[in-house]
Amino acid sequence: MTTTLPAYDEVVARYEPVIGLETHVELGTNTKMWCGCPTDFGGEPNTRVCPVCLGLPGSLPVANKAAIEAIIRIGLALNCSIAQWCRFARKNYFYPDMPKNFQISQYDEPICVDGYLDVEVGGETVRIEIERVHLEEDTGKTLHVGGATGRIHGATESLVDYNRAGIPLVEIVTKPVVGTGALAPDVAKAYVAELRDVIRTLGVSDVRMEEGSLRCDVNTSLNLPGQEWGTRTETKNVNSLRSVERAVRSEMLRQASVLEAGGRITQETRHFHEDTGDTTPGRSKETATDYRYFPEPDLVPVAPDPAWVAELKAALPELPRVHRRRLQQQWGLSDLDMQSVLNAGAVELIEATVAAGTTPAAARKWWLGELSRRANESGVELADIGATPAQVAELQGLVDAGKLNDKMARTVLEGVVDGEGSPTEIMTSRGLEVVSDTGALTAAVDEAIAANPGIADKIRSGKVAAAGALVGAVMKTTRGQADAKTVRELILERLGVQG
């Protein structure tokens, strides 16, 4: 079935979107949530396991204090209230990647509730209300072999890796976000980006979407103005910031086309496809699964000492929003300029580049110019472009030292992005150094003067502007590897003319 999607402008003119985000963050604790197994990414399947995370009969969980501390810090950073007493709960359902066939999670007693996160979108501040932040355990990973879709149905066998089982997972749930209109996709993206930055600043997770340490489910619905909220869908498999935005946009368009055709939205899970930018239906949620939640009897309640919570609150680092304001001042940027830095996801990159010795202006030029352009072309996040702040700083250092001119620096940067090595290495391997050896330059200048006697005469007679033609000739013979200013000075000097 092919349907023609309506134009986005028309959709947002007619409907009001409501979005909601559930974000899962794998904590970077040294050990798992209930046992002492390591949590590092990767590893041979089923090597980072023990009786506890395999759910062997008789084994028992013991809560990881570092994880409790981490979630309280996240809650505090998100302006949440921290429960003085709460419990874990069992969420019962059968699935082979769940060793116990129940997940230890939290149900009606989450550890952090009622917070908010302010995000900037298009120069406006949007407050995203946080409903709850709770702690649970991650599942193992299942690989379905032999089926057409890689899903369990149709597979001839399923392989399970429990290395990930029991890694502490924080779930952050927003309240429904209303009133963002056409900006809904951008708000969703900005929220996840801000959340990621906050959590990274806290140092409790590496929040890498591509490795799955930050995973996002996006709820979307549309309603006509003044009407009740529409039926929502939950889009899973949204693995990058860009995808968050695309998933919301695509789901808004899809739902609008269904509604326009007189259809109704099915409450269901949908899978986002990075390649097509579409979502396809997954599990229907019309018949709600009964997880038979009940308080986890194997764990004592969590009752964080208020004095400890106060201590954690006092020790929170400077959060990204405050930090950005400070940087904006330090870098002397207008709100608009800062916004473009933010939009490009370049704050930390520029900050690190500046820390490596580059001026803010130069650092911003590279990240927002050449590198952003490359990132857009290849559809990757700026941070994943392949150039590091240290390399950019090195590149600018070569420019400042007069070893590279602007044009050559861009070429070298291409090489860096393409993984050819450090700027210095690329400069050497591509033979790109500015010709500063005066002997060679003087020879090239003399050659150009000899080849263009008419122009040389004009210059001698005072038409200094004519020197440009000779500069061009020299640049040509040096294949652009000379500094134009130096060449010009040299020409005038050889012709005995004052500049």
Min dist. Cβ of residue 205 to other proteins (A): 24
Min dist. Cβ of residue 343 to other proteins (A): 44
Angle subtended at Cα 346 by Cα 341 and Cα 350, rounded to the nearest 5 degrees = 100
Gap between the Cα atoms of 6 and 28, Å rounded: 43
Q: Which is nearer to other proteins, 85 or 373 (CB)?
A: 85
Min dist. Cβ of residue 33 to other proteins (A): 12
Q: Which is nearer to other proteins, 97 or 433 (CB)?
A: 97
Min dist. Cβ of residue 31 to other proteins (A): 13
Q: Which is nearer to other proteins, 158 or 411 (CB)?
A: 158
Q: Which is nearer to other proteins, 116 or 293 (CB)?
A: 293
Burial annotation 431-467 (CB, 10 A radius, 16+ → b, else e) = ebbbbeeeeebeebbeebbeebeebbebbeeeebebb
Angstrom CA distances, 119 to 64, 180, 408, stand at 31, 12, 38
Min dist. Cβ of residue 156 to other proteins (A): 8
DSSP H helix total and E strand total for the chain: 17, 14
Min dist. Cβ of residue 61 to other proteins (A): 7
Q: Which of 290, 317, 36 is nearest to 168 (CA)?
A: 36
Q: Which is nearer to other proteins, 48 or 364 (CB)?
A: 48
Do 86 and 100 form a contact (C-beta atoms < 8 A)?
no
Q: Which is nearer to other proteins, 61 or 166 (CB)?
A: 61
Q: Which is nearer to other proteins, 58 or 123 (CB)?
A: 58
Which residues of the chain form contacts with other proteins (CB under 8 A)? Answer: 51, 54-63, 90, 92, 94, 96, 99-102, 152, 156, 158, 160, 288, 290, 292-294, 297-300
Min dist. Cβ of residue 232 to other proteins (A): 20
Q: What are the contacts of 159-162 at 24+ separation with CB within 8 A?
A: 159/45, 160/96, 160/97, 161/45, 161/46, 162/45, 162/46, 162/49, 162/53, 162/54, 162/97, 162/99
The CA-to-CA distance between both ends of the chain, in Å, stands at 73
Q: Which is nearer to other proteins, 163 or 372 (CB)?
A: 163
Handedness of CA 364, 365, 371, 375 (dihedral sign): positive
Min dist. Cβ of residue 221 to other proteins (A): 23
348 phi, psi to nearest 5 deg: -65, -35
Do 28 and 204 form a contact (C-beta atoms < 8 A)?
yes
| DSSP E strand stretches across 364-475 | none
